Each structure stands twice: as structure tokens, then as C-alpha cells.
Chains A and B, each alone.
Chain A
């Protein structure tokens, strides 16, 4: 099979124009970032509103001399906590919480100090502000114990001074503190690319199923080869995916710059090009797999369990995102980076946790490109064999035979 580029470009143009006007694509492209913006904005607004109201904590000091220590600790604590000495006992504190005068109360007695367990009673579920209370209470108990041991206030301050741990990259070009933002930004980019790849691939798959269902595919295959048709679809939907990514990234960047200082944490041009490479080839790999899958299905609802599993394959590394970012150079992560269906997602996620060595970019890149060529050819064969089976879905055994070139 040889590709007739003119035919492939005609198919690509048709798919691009048709899909860009479709309500599904418009909704997916515009409404998803809108929903994310609205929900993100709401959480920022509600978070700020909540943070502006201090937590009123009632303290029932049964040991008698804890309250001054707590007051002292409050001076160096972040804002957001107000402590009230409740001398009238637990019953009154409980009533105050129910009435809304207090948000929570805590009993400080000998046994709780001995057991190192303080119980904060709240009228509502735990919320973000309670973390300040926990921190202040914990420090105050430590200070109180040290004072009880006979240390002076100055000695206590010295002993409990916070130790700041710095993490600095050994990379000469990045000899500054490593910040969590450096991991989050590439991770967000990687996730965006993976989702766009899967969305575009799935959209293409449903397009193929539709063409099969309405029988137009036989007319198409009488004009162009299955390879031309598949290549055209890959190009058309790939361009749509790229456009989607740039749009999402643009909107995300504008909004992020409004709220955060991103200087120094955005990917460099070099990293950006590497992301783009893995996105483009990753998309080609996964979309060709999806197109072949679409050709084997009778309709969108009729996919069997095998088809459902195939859809999940490119997403599998996402489920391992946590350990992958934490240990990006572990042997299993490196192996996964060289197994075709997982290459793009795994490499993109690992890049969030480390600077990939150049040799690995080359080996995974070469493996990815070789897999794309192989997958597109194999998919074209399955596509050709499966697309005209209108009455039933293709079995796995049949698809395997088709991939080997046997269409009987």
C-alpha cells in the first residue's frame, strides 16, 4: 500500500471542516474550559471568602496555665484563628458552638496532654481553617511541655525554631530552589495532551463507526485506499486536536497569569517542542488504534469488552501518574516509556517529575515513530477488513488475521 497524499489531504480537509462545525466538538472545545474556569473561579472565590472569616476556637483550660502559652503561640501564627477562653465548662462551650458563637472547642486537661491527643469538637465538618488551629495547638502543647520541663521562654523559642529544608537541582542551569509549581505545570500540560489525544482519537473512532453504519464507507473505499482514508482522517482529527490544545492552553495561560506568577515555571521552548512531538506522534499512534477499533465495531454501543479495554490502554499510565512523577526514573517507568501504546502518556508524565536524559528522548522518540508507522499500516489492514462487515462486530481472532493481511 502506498499513500496518495492528495487523496489523504482531501479526506483531512473534509473531516476538519465537518467536525469543527459539529456541536459535539464545539461543546467539547469551548464548554469544557468554561466549566473548568467557572468551577475554578468558584472555588477560589469561596476559598477566599472562607479564609477571610477567622475560626473561633473555644479553649477549656483545665490545667490552668495553658492559655497564656497558646496566646503566645498565636502571635507568630498566620491569621485566621481566634482563641476564646471558655471558663464556664464544656456544656457552655457546646451551646456556644450550636448557637454559632464558636466554630469549635477543645478541652486541655492532664490526660490529653499525657496521651498527646487533643480533641477539637466542631459543629460542622472539618474545614481548611482547622489546619491552622491544629498547627497552633500542636506547637502550643510542645512549648507548654518544654516550659514544664524548666526551660526558659528563650530556650523554648530556640528549640522549636522551624527548620527550613531546601531542595536544589544539581542541574547547573537550574541551580535554584525546586518549586512544586515546576512539577504541576508540566503535569497539567501532560494531562491536557493525553486527554486531547484520547478525545480526538475517540471522536475519530465514532466518525468511523458512523460512516460504517450509514454505508458511505463503501463509496469512499472505491475512490481512495483504506490507507489514504485512514491517513486523511488522522491528519484531519490531529489538526483539530492541536487546535483544541492550543486553545485550552491559551485560555489556561491567560487565566493563570491573572491569578498566579508563572515566571520561571512555564516549559521552555525546547521542552514545548518535545511535548509537541510526543503529542503529535502519540495522537497518531492512539488514533490509528481507535480508527481500527471503530472499523471492527458494528455500532457505538455494540463494542464488546475487548473494545472497551482498548479504549483504556492509552489512559493506563494516567492511573500511575502519582508514583510516576514521584519516581520518574524507576526501572518500571523507563520500561513503560518504551512500550508502544504507553509511550506518549508515560513520557509526558515523567517529564513532569524529571528532565529526561537526551538518550531516552531519542530511544523513546524512535520507538514511538517506528510504532506509529507499524500501527498505521496494521490499523489500515484491520480497517480495510473490518469496515465492510456491516452486520456484525469483528472478533479479536478475525482482527488478528486481518492485521496479518488475510482478509478472507
Chain B
């Protein structure tokens, strides 16, 4: 399947600061690609370049297999920026109609779709209220509707869950998955790795504007050399000092009766588990790949870099 978004060799500087350096990735229909990195890593800059809001110093953005400027393909792209905004003194319906019109939706269609989405998100009764009269959570729902009212094929979401309460976070996650099932390609930027891990098919991980990891999530995790083993036992009666002598094992944490190990040996983790069970009275044990956050930190460290907020990002 042809990608709907292909980013190739993007570069952007702000003065002497490098905001984005050689960013390249693709996004296919029905795929959720997580654009990940710490605050200030360059995620928003990449998104603004894709959306045609700022220009890259180098590189290209190809939308729907064409190098069209964004205002030509805008009606096929939805965008929820990190810096949220609506016309506060306009009525909800008016604002949605205008933003839909800018995406080429006819007034009658825009109105019908706006009502449908407002009803779906329990805002039907607020359609004729001014935006400033809505709560922050309600305003975020309206902003989400504005991003999808024109039925885009590509949806760019910059920190879509920030500022939402847990109930609305779940609601937004469900909506995003629903759009994915309809074939919408979604570029989801976030700094909470657990959210991305939960929702994305693939990730593009950056630090200080440079690619750290890129690929589908399953492969990235599978290729990571370490395995996370967590076990619980009666720590008061157990001697864990033998672990220091087990090769390719390190203890990374010990909390509430649970010990966390990382193992990177050539042998299968099951062999380590049987060794553990022979030395300890295990109550619970789990074997999994380390969380994405840890993989990211490890990858950055392997490159000899530090993780910090890049103000140019």
C-alpha cells in the first residue's frame, strides 16, 4: 500500500540550534505512527513542517504520493495542534462550520456532520453556546471535532491526550482507534511513551531533533536485546546476593516485594527463570520486553547522547 505521508530528510534550524536533523519516515493508511520524544525534541517542528505552517531548510514532505503544498491537500488532512485554539467568542456550530469550510466542506454538510459529532460527544445541547462558555474538556472535544469534521485521510494529532481527565482520555483513544479502523492514517505525537505503546503500530523516536528509533513497535521491542523479568518472593527470608554472580543479569529495582531484573544473555530467559526458582521461593514471575521508555533511554545512551529538552524544538 502506498504511504499517504512520506517525510524525507527534513532539516530545520532556528539560528544555530538544530531543531530537526534528517527526519525521514512514512505513514500508510490505517496505521498509527507515534512521533515520540521528550519535550522539545523537535516533534512539533516536524508536524508544523508537514502541515506547511513552517518551511524546512532541507528535505521533502510527500502527501498522498504528490509533492503538493499543504493548502492543496489540506482537505484530506486533519490537524489537532498542541497549542489548542478556538474562536472563544463564536458559537460552537459557527466555528466548526468555518473550520470545515476552510477544508472545502459545503455549509449544509458541515452543519450536519457537526451536529452528529456534537451529539456523539455529548455536546449536542451546547451547539449554539459560545465556546468561552464551555469547560476546558468540552473545548477539547470541539477541537477534536474540528480536526476530523472534513473526514480526513491523514490525521495529525499533536499531544491529543494532554490536559484530559482519564475518562476523556479513554474516549479520545476509542475515537482514534475507530478512525484507524476506517483506514485513516494517524500521526500521533506524544511524550507519554505508555500512551504511544498502547496505541501505535509503529514509532518514530527522536531526541534533540535526531532519529533514535524507527520501525514497527513489535519489531523494535523484539530486537531490543534485554528482557525484563519481574518476580516477587518473601524478601525477608530470601538471599538475593547470588544474582550478582549470574552473568548478563542486573537488578534494576526492588519495590513492594517485587524485584525487577534485566537479562541480555544468549540463553533463553526461561533458563534464568528455572535458575531463580531453584534458589528462591517465587510467588509470581513475569517475563516481558522492557517498556518503550527504557528502550528509548538505552538507545539514546548507546548513541552517547543525553536526554534533555531542546529549546529549539
Interface residues of A (CB under 8 A from B): 4, 6-7, 10-11, 14, 18, 211, 214-225, 228, 388, 390, 407-408
Q: How far is the CB of A290 from chain B (nearest CB, A)?
A: 20
Q: Which of A11, A18, A223 contacts B74 (CB 8 A)?
A: A223
B70 vs chain A, min Cβ distance (A) = 7
Question: Residue of A at shortest CB range from B78?
Answer: A222
From B103, which residue of chain A is reached at the shortest CB distance? A223
Is B87 a contact of A216 with CB atoms below 8 Å?
Answer: yes
Cα–Cα, bound, A224→B84 (Å): 17
Interface on B for A, CB 8 Å cutoff? Answer: 12-15, 48, 51-55, 57, 69-72, 74, 77, 79, 81, 83-88, 90, 98-99, 101-104, 146
Bound complex: CA of A336 vs CA of B72, how far in Å?
A: 42
Contacts of A222 in B (CB 8 A): 51-53, 70, 74, 77, 79, 81
A221 to B83, CA, bound (A): 13
Quote the shortest CB–CB distance from B67 to chain A (angstroms). 15
Q: How far is the CA of A408 from the CA of B90 in the complex (A)?
A: 34
Which 6 pairs show the lowest CB-CB distances between chains A and B?
A215-B85, A216-B85, A223-B102, A222-B79, A222-B51, A215-B83
Enumerate chain A residues within 8 angstroms of B85, measured Cβ to Cβ: 211, 214-219
Residues of B close to A215: CB separation below 8 A? 81, 83-85
Residues of A within 8 Å of B72, CB to CB, are 4
Write the chain B residue with the least CB distance to A18.
B90
Do the beta carbons of B57 and A408 come within 8 Å of each other?
A: yes
Nearest A residue to B95, CB-CB: A216
| A4 to B85 CA separation, bound complex (whole angstroms) | 24
Taking the nearest CB of chain B, how far is it from the CB of A206, in angstroms? 13
Bound-state CA distance A7–B74 (Å) is 11
**Nearest chain-B residue to A405 (Cβ)?**
B55
Q: A408 to B83, alpha carbons, bound, how many Å?
A: 20
CB distance from A229 to the nearest CB of B (A): 9
Residue numbers in A under 8 Å from B70 (CB-CB): 222
Can you list 14 A-B pairs, Cβ within 8 angstroms, ordered by A? A4-B72, A7-B71, A14-B98, A211-B85, A214-B86, A216-B87, A217-B85, A218-B81, A218-B85, A219-B85, A222-B53, A224-B74, A388-B53, A407-B54
CA distance A375 to B104 in the complex (A): 28
Given A14-B98, A224-B74, A388-B54, 18 further pairs, Cβ under 8 A: A4-B72, A10-B101, A214-B86, A215-B85, A216-B86, A217-B85, A218-B81, A218-B85, A219-B79, A220-B102, A221-B53, A222-B52, A223-B102, A224-B71, A228-B71, A388-B53, A407-B54, A408-B14
Residue of B at shortest CB range from A9? B101
Q: Which residues of chain A are within 8 angstroms of B52 by Cβ–Cβ distance?
A: 221-222, 225
CA distance A59 to B259 in the complex (A): 117
Which residues from chain A contact B90 at a C-beta distance below 8 Å?
18
Q: Are B81 and A214 in contact (CB under 8 A)?
A: no
Bound together, the chains give a CA A405 to CA B53 distance in angstroms of 14
Interface on chain B toward A: helix, strand, loop, or mixed SS?
A: loop
Assembled-state Cα–Cα distance A221/B52 (Å): 8
A323 to B258, CA, bound (A): 90
| Shortest Cβ gap from B2 to chain A (Å) | 23
Q: How far is the CA of A4 from the CA of B68 in the complex (A)?
A: 14
**Would you give the shortest CB distance from B158 to chain A, in whole angstroms?**
9
Task: Given A7-B71, A388-B53, A407-B55, check contact A224 B48 (CB 8 Å).
Answer: no
A198 to B157, CA, bound (A): 39
**Whole-angstrom distance from the CB of B71 to the nearest CB of chain A?**
5
B74 x A218 contact (CB < 8 A): no
In Å, the complex CA distance between A223 and B53 comes to 9
Query: Chain B residues near A390 (CB, 8 Å)?
Result: 83
Complex Cα gap A358–B70 (Å) = 45
Decide yes or no: A223 and B84 within 8 Å by CB, A7-B102, A18-B90, A408-B14 being known contacts: no
- Minimum CB–CB distance from A157 to chain B (whole Å) comes to 74
* Cross-chain contact of A224 among B13, B77, B102, B146 (Cβ < 8 A): B102
Bound state CA distance, A223 and B74, in angstroms? 5
Cβ contact within 8 Å between A408 and B15:
yes
A219 to B51, CA, bound (A): 10
Contact in complex: A219, B81 (CB < 8 Å): yes
Are A214 and B53 touching (Cβ within 8 A)? no
Q: Is A214 in contact with B87, judged by CB distance below 8 angstroms?
A: yes
Residue of A7, A225, A408 with most chain B CB atoms under a 10 A cut-off: A408
Complex: A111 Cα to B277 Cα, angstroms: 132
Report the minimum CB–CB distance from B290 to chain A (whole Å). Answer: 36
B87: chain A residues at CB < 8 Å are 18, 214, 216
Q: Which of A10, A218, A408 contacts B102 (CB 8 A)?
A: A10
CB neighbours (8 Å) of B74 from chain A are: 222-224
Most buried by A among B12, B13, B87: B87
Residues in B whose Cβ lies below 8 Å from that of A214: 85-88
Residues on A with C-beta less than 8 A from B79 are 219, 222
Q: Which residues in A have their C-beta under 8 angstroms from that of B83?
A: 215, 218, 390
| Complex Cα–Cα for A328 and B52 (A) | 49
The one of A4, A219, A407 in contact with B71, judged by C-beta atoms closer than 8 angstroms, is A4
Contact among A18, A219, A221 with B99 in the assembled complex (CB-CB below 8 Å): A219
Question: In the docked arrangement, what's the CA distance between A3 and B165, Å?
Answer: 41
* Min distance, Cβ A343 to any Cβ of chain B, angstroms: 31
A261 CB to nearest chain B CB (Å): 47
Bound complex: CA A224 to CA B104 (Å): 11
The interface residues of chain A lying within 8 Å CB-to-CB of B104 are 6
Most chain B beta carbons < 10 A, residue from A214, A217, A388: A214
When C-beta atoms are compared, the residue in chain A nearest to B72 turns out to be A4
Q: Which one of B14, B57, B81 has the highest number of Cβ atoms from chain A below 10 Å of its Cβ?
A: B81
- For B55, the chain A residues whose CB sits under 8 A away are 407
Closest Cβ of chain A to B130, distance in Å, is 12
Complex contacts, B54 vs chain A, CB 8 Å:
388, 407
Least distance between A225 CB and chain B CB atoms (Å): 5
Q: How far is the CB of B131 from chain A (nearest CB, A)?
A: 9
A331 to B276, CA, bound (A): 99
Instruction: Give Cα distance in the complex from A249 to B42, angstroms.
Output: 54
Please tell me which one of the listed residues B13, B53, B146 contacts residue A408 in the complex, with CB atoms under 8 A apart: B13
Residue of B nearest to A385 (CB): B54
A218–B158 alpha-carbon span in the complex (Å): 12
A14 closest partner in B (C-beta): B98
